[in-house]
Amino acid sequence: MSYTGPDFEPPQPRRSPLRRPLTVAIAALVPGALLGWGVYAAVGGPDDDGGADRAGGARTPAASSPGVSASAGADAKAPTGTSPSATPRDPTASASASKPAPAAPAKGPLKGKVVVIDPGHNPGNFQHPSDINRKVNVGTHWKECDTTGTATEAGWPEAKFTLDVAHRLRTLLEAQGATVKLTQDGDRPFGPCVDERARIGNEAKADAAVSIHADGSGAGNRGFHVILPGSVHDGEADTRAIVAPSAELGERIAGNFVRATGSAPSNYVGGGTGLVTRTDLGGLNLSTVPKVFIECGNMRDDKDASLLTSNDWRQKAAQGMSEGIVSFLRG
């Protein structure tokens, strides 16, 4: 199988359809993707399709509206209650022990471009249940401010994974000349809430925004998927202007993520395309700038967890995201 997208073919003029799913075709396979897929298959490829699970293996109901995945991702995750203090080992300890030095004046192909990186959840969320459980308006409905996210079976929390990858991604993008802003940098006790996460990107007038997550589905569900905003025009939510550019951003990130990491698209959502459209996530519904979520893998599956806890793999994940963002911003 292969994964095709904008960065596996000659550049095409931007098209206006609301969603252009990626295709899977052996004939379009490129050497880099073939090697990555071979490595992935060797350690255990896709199994049977199935609905996404919450952390701990509890099955979630299927989405009731068309185009909305049942994925247990992003700002829809239920808290796991896992305390970082119970974690036997922190895979990011050596990579994230010190804060990065201030960035040099911007120069490079992305000079003048603004990217907002949204590391999902917050390591301190579990200590503030009343704060993160309060409801906020996400345009179409009210939902919890935030959640604790999921964790590996060994207890390593998603919030530490997302912050580590965000730091790596920031370094790569700043090296290209981009101005990079994080929605949180381990510098606040909890949150921010999902509506504030969207507002940070909007107020920064970001040219692209990416929310980083890892899923909490059932064991055997493997692979990554990129969540795109569906068309929403209800209450304070109006995504109509960002649907098309967000789809392009998501496609480019997905294609480069395959190439950089060797990981396959999700075997449980997205129909093998690695792309899922949702209309229930406040972080997307309230965005006025091109934005996507990426679920980098499933923390509750042992094979995916072994990747997510690898320093080398996380660097490749950041590289794939960076290349996709650069491709999108340069056109």
Q: Which residues are catalytic?
A: 295
Give the span between the Cα atoms of 41 and 83, in whole angstroms.
Answer: 33
Cβ neighbors of 68 (< 8 A, separation 6 or more) are: 230, 277, 278, 279, 280
Where do we find the tokens 């960076």?
Answer: 322
DSSP one-letter string for 245-313: HHHHHHHHHHHHHHHHH-PPBPSSSGGGSSEEEES--HHHHT--S-EEEEEEEETTSHHHHHHHT-HHH
Least Cα distance to 248 among 291, 288, 211 occurs for 291
Q: What interhelical angle do 311-330 and 158-175 show, nearest 10? A: 50
DSSP secondary structure code for residue 24 in this structure: -
Q: What interhelical angle do 243-261 and 311-330 show, nearest 10? A: 140
Give the span between the Cα atoms of 149 and 145, in whole angstroms.
Answer: 12
DSSP one-letter string for 285-300: HT--S-EEEEEEEETT
Taking the CA atoms of the chain, what radius of gyration do you get in angstroms? 18
Q: What is the dihedral of CA 255, 181, 316, 275, to 10 degrees?
A: -30
Give residue 168's identity as a one-letter amino acid code: R
Count of beta carbons in the 10 Å neighbourhood of residue 208: 27
The token pair at 115 is: 């990217």
Give the span between the Cα atoms of 215 and 300, in whole angstroms.
Answer: 8
